[in-house]
Every structure is written in structure tokens, then in C-alpha cells.
Amino acid sequence: MDQSFEEGIRLRKQASALRPIQTKVQNRSSSELTSNDGSHHQEINGEDNDRDQPVSPAGQLFHEPNFNVHILAIMGCKTKIDVAVVRANLPHTLLKHPRFSSFPVVDQEKGGEMKWVRRKVDLDKHVITPEVDLSNYKECPDKYVEDYIYNLTKTSVDKSRPLWDLHILNVKTSAAEGVGIFRIHHSLGDGISLMSLLLACTRQTSDPVALPTLPTKKPDTNNWKRFGFFDTRSFVGFIFGLWWVLKLFWNTLLDVLMFAGTALLLVKDTNTPIKGPPGSEKNPRRIVYKIVSLDDMKLVKNAMNTTINDVALGATQAGLSKYLNRRYGIENQNDEGETERKNNLPKKIRLRSILFVNIRPSSGIQALADMMEKNTKAKWGNSFAYVLLPFTIGLRDDPLDYVREAKSTIDRKKHSLEALFTFSIIGLVFKFFGLKSASSLFQRLFSSTTMAFSNVVGPLEEIGFYGHPMAYLSANSYGQANELVICIQSYVNKMSVSLSVDENTIPDPYQLCDDIVESLKLIKHTIIEKGLIK
């Protein structure tokens, strides 16, 4: 990475602290906001409720030093990105959303209350097009993009202006002609809302006026019909319904107790080679990703009567098992061949992931597009809960067992109200004990678990970002206390497997990514060999 870029990063890091600002404006005809250092911030014209919206408790949490989380959306385009076209379109789309033209301030007159204050956006400070120097990356320009993102994770967005930036790298890589990197502070909204908003700025390449479409999940009512649950005259239906309710209650009770035990540090994950010491949230992250075929995952899904999420989780479990077996073998000083063949895994490894669950309906792409184009209202913010998802770690003779185990785990979690209860518990902590206690609770949750996992659904058809056809879409984050974050993102007939890792703990993220991808291929080949294709 060139020196000028690294120096710029350091300067922005020094200016990123959230400064107390007086927000009382009723006595100022100019609608100016004055910071403690005497500088002024000019508001844009808008509704009062847009100017003085309070930052939600969840949004405030993401401004805590130990939870300064940023979301990265990486867009590979099939053509070079015309910066002028992007800059011309942003004011008519993304910037119409209040959160992308607002920044957080602390109201000293109201006990330090944090509010969103709208201001005019200076695109020169948000759309960044660095001079690309590939002299050290001639053989692998992909590494330039990777190192650029790595350096981004060393910093935070400047909190004296709207909390986002877009980095445009017109670098020809193995999969794209140009790469756009959106960096968005998590306090602006949760991953589902932010991804929907970004997709609302795109259009289908086959129809330049049509918004992307996302796959919809149809409710499965076969089990209810099979057992006659809704037929009160059926004794079998009554018994099944009673068992269903009792099982739901029992699963929820166990999950809530496990959540409480984890938050109180009574239940901790096994200290495996991919679990590092506390304090890793401030370390930079190496983000690596690979593009696989979504059709391969659909083949496995149809053959095993599961979901794409089950297949993704099963391949991840298989890859983690293979990777950990190798790491334990190296620690035991086995030679490479023996490490691959021998089972080096300890018995009863507890390895859990924090799974983020959206607990309210998504605003939807159409609603967000209408909000930007017609100034209509749409629900926004951080509204999510946490589910503790156990991963089964072990070597299996049949690769399909990983998918079967994943399906069993997901089905068990679906039959529980864990997400609603954890959301309520966190809300009560915010209300009665304050932000610091909630921040401490989250810190304990992350330090007691090993990783975070998410599966984000992307558009069904090829899309263009302001006229630039997209080759792939990948997402991840940095700033949380887990040393490993795995994000699965679909796009048309492709699936990106993205890892965000702390290299102090996972020095070979490419190997781990390869293990997950190779595990998926092995599962697919096993399906074919067994003749299970439907």
C-alpha cells in the first residue's frame, strides 16, 4: 500500500473521535451547530424531526470503544467505475436517507443525550478515489484490494460528519474491472436494512428502471396439515399441538438459561486455536473471500431436502473441523501428511457462533427506494437480537453428516423463542442499568463465544450500481470482539464466502476459506456419487 494512503488513514483516525456538540438551535436563525472547539456545522433544510432524532440505544452501543463496529459492502463491477457518474447519483438516492446525511452529536444541555443532526454532505470527503500504485502488486492485483481493505480496518469513519464513505478502486482483479467498497458505521442501521438500502440504489441490468428482487420464503404448513393441528376435533392434532407447545417452552427455557450463563461468563467456549485473548476488537482485520456456485448449494439443498442456510452452515462446520484438526496436529508436531489423516481434535469442543437475527420485517427494497425518491417514511434502525448457535466440530466419515447436523441445529433453534427473549433482556438492561452495563453485557457475550456467522440473501438477477453491472457482491464487518466473522452472501447464481479474521489468532485465513469451499465441493461430489440428485 502506498505511503500517502497510510498517512491519510492515520490522519482520519486522529479526527474520528465523537466530540460533544451543543445542539440548541432555536435561538439561531442560521441553524448552526457549534462544537466545543468553536467550529460550526451548517444544517441542511429539513423537517425538525429529522434534525433532532435521538440515537437509539442500540445505535449508541456501537459508539462504545469496545463495540465500534463497521460494515463493509464490497462490490465488484464488470466495468471500470465512472466516479463522476457515482457522485452525480448519490445526492438523488443514498443521501436522501436521513442517516446518510446526519452525524451523531452529544447534547450537553440534556445530560449528554446523543442525537442525529442533519448537515450538508461534502462528497469530496466521502467518495474516495486513491491513486492506485500496483508496482508491488503486478502479479496479484487482488492483493492490492485486500491490503487496501486491511488498512481501512485500522481506522474508523470520521464521526464529525455522516458515518459512511465509499472507496472506488479501478483495479482489474481476477473477478472484476473495478471495486467499490462501502464502509458504513453500524450505528446507522443493522445489516439487513443497510443491504436493502444499498440494493435500492441499484437497478436490474436487463431493465434499467426495475429494482432488484430478493427470494422469498414460503411458510411450511405441511407438518400442521399432516398432524391436523388446526382441527380441534382431531385427538392426534390436539396431542401434537400440546407437544409442540411444551417443546417450544422447553427449548426457549434452555436457550435463555444458556444465554444468561454466557453473559455471566459461567459458560465459555473451548479455547481452540481460533479463539484469541480479550481485546481483539481493536485489531485490524484481514478480509478474504471466495466466490462459489450457488447452483452447487441448491443441488445439495434439493437432494437433502434442506435449506441453503443448512448447506452453508454444514459446509462451514466441515471446513472448521478440517482446519482445527490441522491446527491441533501442528501443535502436536505431527508431519503434514499425518496431520491430514489423523484425528487430532479434542473431545467435546464447545464452539458457538453469535447469529444476528432481524426481529422485525425488513423495510424492503421498494420501501427504501420510495423513501429516497419520494420522501416517504420507512422503518429504520438497529432492531436485532442474538442467537447462540452451536457448531458441531468433529471428523465425519460421511460428509453429508455435516449438513444433517446443521439442519438439526437450525430446526432446533427455529423451534425456540430465544431471539425474542434475548432482545427483551437486552432492552431491559438498557432501560434499567444504562449503556455501560449493556456494553459490558455484549462484551462478555462476544468474549465467551468464538465467532459470528451470517447468511445474507442477495438479488436474483444481475444488477447495476448507477449503470455499472455488478460481477459479485460480498459483505463483512470489523470492530467486534470475535476473532472470526463468516458472512455468506448470495448474488444471482453466485455465493461469496467471506472471512474477517484477526491474523494474530488466525494467521492463515486463506487456508480456512479454502477448507470451507473444498468442504462444499466434497459434499456436492458425495451427493453425485450416491445418486441422490433429484
Strand order in the sheet with 40-42: 21-22, 32-35, 40-42
pLDDT at 46: 37
Mean pLDDT of all residues in 402-427: 92
366 pLDDT above the threshold of 90: no
Grid cell listed for 79 = 466495468
Mean pLDDT of all residues in 146-161: 93
Q: pLDDT band for position 214 (50/70/90)?
A: confident
* Residues 432-449 pLDDT 10s: 888 888 888 888 888 899
Catalytic residue among 185, 186, 415, 468: 186
Mean pLDDT of all residues in 315-332: 92
Mean pLDDT of all residues in 498-511: 95
Every domain of the chain with CATH number 3.30.559.30 lies at: 241-359+384-458+482-529
Helix, strand, coil percent content, the chain, rounded in steps of 5: 45, 20, 35
Active-site residue 186, yes or no? Answer: yes
pLDDT at 533: 84
34 pLDDT above the threshold of 50: no
Q: pLDDT band for position 368 (50/70/90)?
A: low
Q: pLDDT band for position 379 (50/70/90)?
A: low
Helical H runs in 65-180?
83-89, 141-152
Higher local confidence (pLDDT), 406 or 371: 406
- The helix (run of H) or strand (run of E) holding residue 70 is strand 70-77
pLDDT at 231: 54
Mean pLDDT of all residues in 188-208: 85
Q: What is the mean pLDDT of the chain?
A: 82
Superfamily for 241-359+384-458+482-529?
Answer: Nonribosomal peptide synthetase, condensation domain (3.30.559.30)
Q: pLDDT band for position 113 (50/70/90)?
A: confident
Q: pLDDT band for position 477 (50/70/90)?
A: very high
Higher local confidence (pLDDT), 55 or 366: 55
Residues 121 and 93 sit within 8 Å (Cβ to Cβ) = no
Higher local confidence (pLDDT), 372 or 507: 507
Q: Above pLDDT 90, what percent of the chain?
A: 50
- The helix (run of H) or strand (run of E) holding residue 103 is strand 102-107
Mean pLDDT of all residues in 96-125: 85
What Cα–Cα distance (Å) separates residue 295 from each residue in 299, 471, 493, 521?
6, 16, 6, 12
Higher local confidence (pLDDT), 85 or 380: 85
410 pLDDT above the threshold of 90: yes
Higher local confidence (pLDDT), 155 or 383: 155
Every domain of the chain with CATH number 3.30.559.10 lies at: 3-189
Q: How far apart are CA 69 and CA 382, in angstroms?
A: 12
Angle, nearest 10°, between helix axes 509-529 and 400-414?
100
Beta strands in 195-285 (DSSP E): 202-204
Higher local confidence (pLDDT), 441 or 169: 169
Superfamily for 3-189?
Answer: Chloramphenicol acetyltransferase-like domain (3.30.559.10)
